[in-house]
């Protein structure tokens, strides 16, 4: 039996295992999907050595950036993004070779193109982690100017207090933070929600719960909303192709 999995910590919120388990059953694939919930990324090589059937695994918070030094090969796109969320495992007589890719980027891009009828000139990304980097790369590739928001902004970012009276400039707002993820569903980024209108599109990368507080507060002002479940499925399908190439 082939093995695939998900690396991250914690993993109680993730739907990846159920998605792939249902896929294997529906397509009659002799495989299993495991959760590798590691609180220390340095344990990852040992897990791979002890799991010889493992062919590939997805990477989620907080390891999309931290895993990169452990990889033997990183795709040009993942290098440019600065984050990896999919790893292919290949076995050799001398050990194993790990190749890193970023499928968050095309997963987000494809979902966004289905969500917005007309792409905006500017977008706001809330968060600066690995997922945010993939989103930024996707938006830039589509010709959209990006402003990133951080709790501790660098010279290339802005802080949340700077958003007062500015949301009208950004028709598209993406939550790329984990705020609002189950079980802490009450959380949401501290933006001035009262400035939102029906002309705004809010894309939340969080998919559990299906309707986040970020989305709820946007809907109260007529904003269009979407969660990250379709993106999850799309990036998973891209990963599946990589693991089996």
Question: Could you state, in order of their start, the residue ranges of all structural domains in the chain?
Answer: 2-102, 104-231
Cα–Cα distance, 62 to 10 (Å, whole number): 9
Question: What is residue 109's predicted lDDT score, i.e. its pLDDT?
Answer: 98
Provide, rounded to the nearest whole percent, the portion of the chain with pLDDT above 70: 100
Its sign, for the CA torsion 193, 15, 185, 161, is: negative
- Tens digits of residue pLDDT in 148-188: 999 999 989 999 999 998 999 999 999 999 999 999 999 99
Question: What is residue 131's predicted lDDT score, i.e. its pLDDT?
Answer: 94
Catalytic residues: 64
- Tens digits of residue pLDDT in 106-149: 999 999 999 998 999 999 999 999 999 999 999 999 999 999 99
Query: What is the rounded average pLDDT of the residues 193-199?
Result: 97
Provide, rounded to the nearest whole percent, the portion of the chain with pLDDT above 90: 93
Q: Is CATH 3.40.50.10860 correct for 2-102?
A: yes
Q: Does position 245 have pLDDT exceeding 90, yes or no?
A: no
Q: Which CATH architecture has domain 104-231?
A: 3-Layer(aba) Sandwich (3.40)
């Amino acid at each position: 039996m082939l093995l695939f999995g998900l690396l991250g910590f914690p993993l109680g919120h993730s739907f990846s295992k159920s998605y792939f388990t249902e896929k294997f059953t529906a397509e009659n694939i002799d495989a299993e999907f495991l959760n590798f919930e590691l609180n220390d990324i340095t344990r990852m090589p040992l897990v791979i050595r002890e799991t010889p059937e493992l062919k590939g695994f997805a990477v989620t918070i907080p390891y999309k950036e931290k895993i990169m030094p452990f990889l033997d090969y990183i795709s040009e796109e993942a290098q440019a993004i600065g984050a990896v969320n999919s790893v292919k495992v290949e076995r050799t007589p001398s050990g194993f070779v790990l190749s890193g890719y970023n499928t968050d980027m095309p997963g987000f891009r494809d979902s966004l193109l289905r969500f917005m009828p007309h792409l905006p000139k500017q977008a706001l990304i809330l968060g600066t982690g690995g997922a945010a980097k993939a989103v930024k790369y996707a938006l830039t590739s589509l010709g959209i100017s990006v402003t990133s928001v951080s709790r501790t902004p660098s010279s290339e970012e802005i802080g949340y207090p700077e958003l007062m009276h500015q949301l009208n400039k950004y028709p598209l707002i993406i939550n790329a933070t984990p705020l609002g993820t189950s079980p802490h569903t009450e959380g949401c980024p501290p933006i001035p929600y009262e400035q939102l209108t029906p002309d705004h599109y809010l894309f939340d990368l969080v998919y559990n719960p299906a309707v986040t507080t970020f989305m709820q507060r946007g809907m109260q002002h007529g904003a269009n909303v979407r969660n990250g479940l379709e993106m999850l499925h799309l990036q998973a399908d891209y990963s599946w192709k990589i693991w089996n190439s």
